[in-house]
Amino acid sequence: MAGLDDLSRGELADILRRLRQLETASPLQNASIGSNGLRVYDGGVITIQNGGLNVTGTATITGTLQADGTIAFTGTLTQSGPSTFTGDTKLNGPTHINGTTDIAGNVTTTGTFTQNGTTNLNGTTSVKGNMSVTGGGKITAGNTVIDPSASNGGVTFASGGGVGGNGGNVVVKGTGNAGLITDTTAAVFAGASQLTVGDGYVKIDGLETVSGVTANLYMDPSTKRVKRIV
């Protein structure tokens, strides 16, 4: 049986009750936005106070993103396009740079620096401290080459000759001659001739002969030492 509508009773009380519910309700405390989305315009701002913003899908920014404060990224960060950093920048952990890199300004490194591949230094270069070239490497300066494999470590010249070491001795090499410096003697070689200078004596091998002149030097036939006649 259908209810009767008592026309003697007004609906104002019910209307006030529903209006009070609307005024005191908080529908956005747990709200969802469907496919039509949410639009903020005309200078409107969304303020998050004492809360957070969780994005489990995709956040797309086609305008300007301005962040003041601490920004923490966890996971993979991919940046496409130019990037400008103003102020101190610290990279903690391994850093890999693939591609051309230009650095304008001073660079200071602390720790071991390893360079694999060709290194080009354009401009004045200063090295403070020791420098070691290992692995049989060579140092080339113009026509001069410092080669650790040449004469047990030596310097060679593109025009011929060089300087090397052998058993604690110094060897000077020319195109057709040579020299040897030891702890006690210094010798010069040219073809079949040799001049040796020691402590208090001079020795000559392969000396040419002459006749019909007054002798002023004497050469010992056994030791080949030259002595002045007085």
H or E element, residue 163: strand 162-166
Query: What residue segments make up the domains of the chain, in order of their start?
Result: 136-183, 192-230
Among 28-37, 62-71, 105-114, the minimum mean pLDDT is found in 28-37
State how far the Cα of 71 lies from the Cα of 15, in Å rounded to an integer.
50
Lookup result for tokens 């747990």: 30
Give the residues across from 176 on adjacent strands: none
State how far the Cα of 192 lies from the Cα of 53, in Å rounded to an integer.
94
- Selected residue with higher pLDDT from 158 and 57: 57
Where helices occur in 94-226 by DSSP H, the ranges are none
Closest Cα partner for 75 from 55, 61, 50? Answer: 55
State how far the Cα of 201 lies from the Cα of 185, in Å rounded to an integer.
10
Give the residues across from 188 on adjacent strands: 179, 195
State how far the Cα of 33 lies from the Cα of 181, in Å rounded to an integer.
93
Kindly report, residue by residue over 4-43, the tens digit of the pLDDT. Answer: 666 666 677 888 888 888 888 777 777 788 888 888 899 9
Is the per-residue pLDDT at 52 higher than 90?
no
**Residue 10 pLDDT:** 65
Mean pLDDT to the nearest integer, 193-213: 87
Mean pLDDT to the nearest integer, 108-118: 87
**Residue 6 pLDDT:** 64
Share of the chain above pLDDT 90, in %: 6
Q: What is the DSSP track for 188-229?
A: EEETTEEEEEETTEEEEES-----SS---EEE-TTT-EEEE-
**Residue 44 pLDDT:** 92
**Residue 186 pLDDT:** 92
Pull the structure tokens for residue 214: 């007054």
Q: What is the pTM of this model?
A: 0.46
